[in-house]
Structure 1
Amino acid sequence: MRSAMHRPRRPRFFPLLPPLILLALLAGSIGGLARLGLQVADAGSPWVGSAAAQHGALMISAFLGSVIALERAVALKQGWTFAAPLLAGAGGLALLAGRAALGAWLGVAAAGLFVGVNALVLRRQLLPHTLLLMAGALCWLLGNLAFALRLAGFDPLPWWFALLVLTIAAERLEMTRLMRRRPAAEWSLYAVLALLLGGAALSPVLYGAALTLLAAWLLRHDIARRTVHAEGLSRYMAVCLLGGYGWLAVAGLAWVATTLGWPARDAALHGLGLGFVFSMVMGHAPVILPAVAGIKLLYGPWFYAPLALLHASLLLRLGAGPAEPELRALGAALNAAALALFALTLIAAALLWRARKENR
């Protein structure tokens, strides 16, 4: 039994966080489907219109931003750090309620506080991967400022995605310490990420090129190349990671193609947001969820089902979708089904763990 001094200091508002995070995910998913013309919920309801209009902000800032901030808060075990995911989740609720300005500035407050959280991380542990985590936090702040200020030419999407990409890159860099690599490999990663930040500020072509180069770096240097030959959970996580890196490369190429006038925007945004980021989420959830929420999961081969559905539906959506709007819509609906199936998989895994424990 852990002593009290090792228990995370969770504030009284902590029970509000899971509902806010899940609401952002659900509303963002429904909003994405509504944008494609699919009949979801009550299509005439104001909240569905808000969810469609704020799809990107709900999915990236309110949902994924909250999840990242919550994970960091749990790791630091200080009550004030939980205010960042609370503000991000509250911002998503305000967006859904039609209070766009309030929601945007709550997001700015969340990201600003998260920068302070990462300053505390740096104070405790000044390492390359923690510097990348701070860079990701600053990107979230810039993205939320772009969203709140609505300045011409100041697009929040590259900065929002940079939060996710830099956070994942930092975690994978930390893991690659387990592998022998040349010093030049680490510096090449920094060069690619610098190109990503330059592209976010100046050029979509550079941004897309950086995403593709990052995919190549991860495929070459990530420990998943070894663990994919393992068994059980380790192999599942590696399959998630390697598949995600493939979609990262696709997204980078599509980002460049979009700037050249090709109809590849959907592939750029959702190859990155769904193919890459949610593959990472699916791969890390069996480890992160027990650490953050204290929920034990029983791993089994059924975890591959939502992952396979995610990749197959993306192939349908992005492969046939540009020429066939109906197939694009079907692929998007199956994207949402994959996320729902993954949520059900986690619930089933938690119940199976509990049943197994009770039967011992």
Structure 2
Amino acid sequence: MLSLPFLGGHWLGNGAVSHGALMICGFMGTVIGIERAVAVKRHAAWLAPVASGWGGLCLLAGLTTAGAWLLTVAAVVFVGVNVVVVHRQRAAHTVLLLASALAWLTGSLLFLLRPEDMSSVPWWFAFLVMTIAAERLEMTRLMRRRPGAQVSLWLLLGALAAGAALSAFSARAGGVLYGLSLFCLALWLGVFDIARRTVLAQGLARFMAVCLLGGYAWLAVAGLAWTGAALGLPLRDAALHALGLGFIVSMMMGHAPVILPAIARIKLQFGSLFYVPLAVLHLSLIVRLGIGLNDFAWRGTGALLNAVAIALFAAVMVGAAVLWQARHRSGAPKQDRS
């Protein structure tokens, strides 16, 4: 096994043991923390992504307790940041963002106090699911929705939180409630999200819609698999990766072309290559969760393709930024004169 001295040990093995905390808190928590810090424009807000980033490095180094403390500190600061957001703009989506931050904090506290069990995982996933739901609620707030649509969303997310809480005491009952909530949330998003209309558009709008609708399909799969796993079926891997990769990474691919330029102050040249990593992602999940459900060799192939899809997406984003610069640097004077 490889050993990196500055991480203090066998980082690959440590990463495998703590990959849930690493991906959800160390990576996604840091990315979302940066996005929120840029939005609120307060120096103290940067403590959240700094703490979560260092927490992830501690987990890689095998310093589980130190990592858990840092992730908890990150979540506490992140809750404070979202209190500021709600104070500035009291709306349904900002309140939901605050609820998602509290879910992160709850999961991190459980990880700190009960590192030996998995009770933190439903809360961490709830953090990401609620964050995405809040962003979609904000995006579609101008749409005419049927009466009760927003109330039903809050009820579903409340059931999701209740399932996460119950899972700490009864994995079966809590898991069933959690899984059914995910499945019903997928139906809600499929019916009420604006993506079902923008998929008929062109360019980036269509790409985003394809990412979102594909993600909602995997969310439904995750909900059913989570329910099945709670009932004793061998579907835990399917539940975790349909949710973590199929839903959350699809959402990341769909939102990144809009969020990344806002954070990094760059521009992207959209093109058909954006669909390549998305297609590889869905293919990898079909291999991993379909053929690989009862075949470890195929499951390993699917896992490798999961990583390839994410690496391809990163490469496409970098290439899109470079291409935009190359095309517009020479064309800028013309545009300025017109």
User: Same fold by TM-score, threshold 0.5 exceeded?
Assistant: yes
- Is residue 2:65 matched to residue 1:85? no
Aligned to 1:172: 136
Aligned to 1:330: 301
Aligned to 2:23: 59
Aligned to 2:65: 101
Q: Secondary structure in 2 aligned to 1:359?
A: helix
State the Cα distance separating 1:70 from its structure 2 match. 0.9
- Is residue 2:42 matched to residue 1:71? no
Aligned to 2:220: 249
Aligned to 1:276: 247
Counterpart CA distance in 2 for 1:314 and 1:109 is 34
RMSD: 1.4
Specify every segment of 5 or more residues in structure 1 that has no aligned partner in the other structure, as ranges. 1-40
1:115 aligned to which of 56, 75, 79 = 79
- Is residue 2:190 matched to residue 1:219? yes
- Is residue 2:155 matched to residue 1:208? no
| Contact 1:200/1:207 (8 A) holds in 2 | yes
Compute the TM-score of the two structures, normalised by the length of structure 1. Answer: 0.87
| Contact 1:43/1:49 (8 A) holds in 2 | no
Residues 327-357 of structure 1 deviation map (CA, whole Å, 9 limit, x = unaligned): 0000000000000000100110011011012
| Contact 2:238/2:293 (8 A) holds in 1 | no
State the Cα distance separating 1:42 from its structure 2 match. 3.2
Counterpart CA distance in 2 for 1:351 and 1:258 is 44
Question: Which 4+ residue blocks in structure 1 deviate beyond 2 angstroms?
Answer: 41-45, 151-154
Q: Identity of counterpart residues, as a percentage? A: 59
Counterpart CA distance in 1 for 2:207 and 2:51 is 33
State the Cα distance separating 1:152 from its structure 2 match. 6.9
Aligned length: 320
Amino acid at match of 1:120: V
Amino acid at match of 1:318: L
State the Cα distance separating 1:153 from its structure 2 match. 6.3
Aligned to 1:157: 121
Residues 285-306 of structure 1 deviation map (CA, whole Å, 9 limit, x = unaligned): 1100000111211110100000
| Contact 2:51/2:71 (8 A) holds in 1 | yes
- Is residue 2:269 matched to residue 1:301? no
Aligned to 1:26: none
Higher mean C-alpha displacement, 314-323 vs 214-223: 314-323
| Contact 1:224/1:238 (8 A) holds in 2 | yes
- Is residue 2:210 matched to residue 1:239? yes
Higher mean C-alpha displacement, 144-153 vs 341-350: 144-153
1:140 aligned to which of 104, 109, 117 = 104
State the Cα distance separating 1:178 from its structure 2 match. 2.4
Specify every segment of 5 or more residues in structure 2 that has no aligned partner in the other structure, as ranges. 167-173, 332-338
Change (3 A) 1:151 1:297: closer
| Contact 2:291/2:298 (8 A) holds in 1 | yes
Higher mean C-alpha displacement, 108-117 vs 48-57: 48-57
Aligned to 1:6: none
State the Cα distance separating 1:43 from its structure 2 match. 8.5
State the Cα distance separating 1:154 from its structure 2 match. 6.5
| Contact 1:310/1:334 (8 A) holds in 2 | yes
